[in-house]
């Protein structure tokens, strides 16, 4: 895999998700939400959100039985290459393995991005509004 393909597969989705999580964290911190104050809860919520996205996209790919989800889901799920395993009527064991594994991987990916985003949000200087 060339560097440009690697960046397209992982760099752009990571930047997109990082910006989205930073925006949510910044707005939440401006409103003094408790979820931003607890880093473990913040990462857990984003991890569960990432897992939910991965599982729902895997189920959609299984039901559609096409590469449409794989071709269009890479901004929210850069590990969607495994969706190819869900084509052509796989066994139930393969379905559970792929869906579970991708849910865990995507959840960990979102949790890592959320942790980095929280560090960035906390580094943004607090300004006082008059």
Tens-level pLDDT at each residue, the chain (130 residues): 677 776 666 777 888 888 999 898 888 888 777 777 788 988 999 999 999 988 888 888 788 766 777 777 777 777 776 777 777 778 888 888 888 888 898 899 999 999 999 888 888 777 665 4
Alpha helix (H) ranges present in 1-130?
3-6, 12-30, 34-37, 39-64, 68-72, 92-123
Which pLDDT belongs to residue 39? 87
Which pLDDT belongs to residue 81? 67
Distance (Å, rounded) from C-alpha 52 to C-alpha 19?
20
- At 73, list the tokens: 């889901």
DSSP code for 9: I
Distance (Å, rounded) from C-alpha 84 to C-alpha 87?
6
């Amino acid at each position: 895999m060339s560097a440009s393909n690697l960046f397209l597969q992982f760099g752009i989705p990571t930047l997109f998700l990082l910006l989205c999580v930073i925006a949510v964290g910044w707005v939440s911190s401006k409103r003094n939400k408790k979820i931003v104050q607890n880093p473990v809860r913040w990462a857990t919520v984003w991890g569960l959100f990432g897992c939910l996205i991965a599982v729902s996209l895997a189920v959609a790919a299984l039901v559609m039985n096409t590469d449409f989800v794989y071709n269009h889901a890479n901004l929210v799920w850069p590990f969607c290459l495994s969706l190819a395993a869900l084509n052509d009527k796989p066994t139930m064991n393969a379905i559970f393995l792929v869906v579970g594994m991708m849910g865990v991987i995507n959840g960990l990916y979102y949790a890592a991005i959320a942790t980095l985003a929280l560090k960035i949000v906390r580094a943004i200087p607090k300004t006082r509004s008059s």
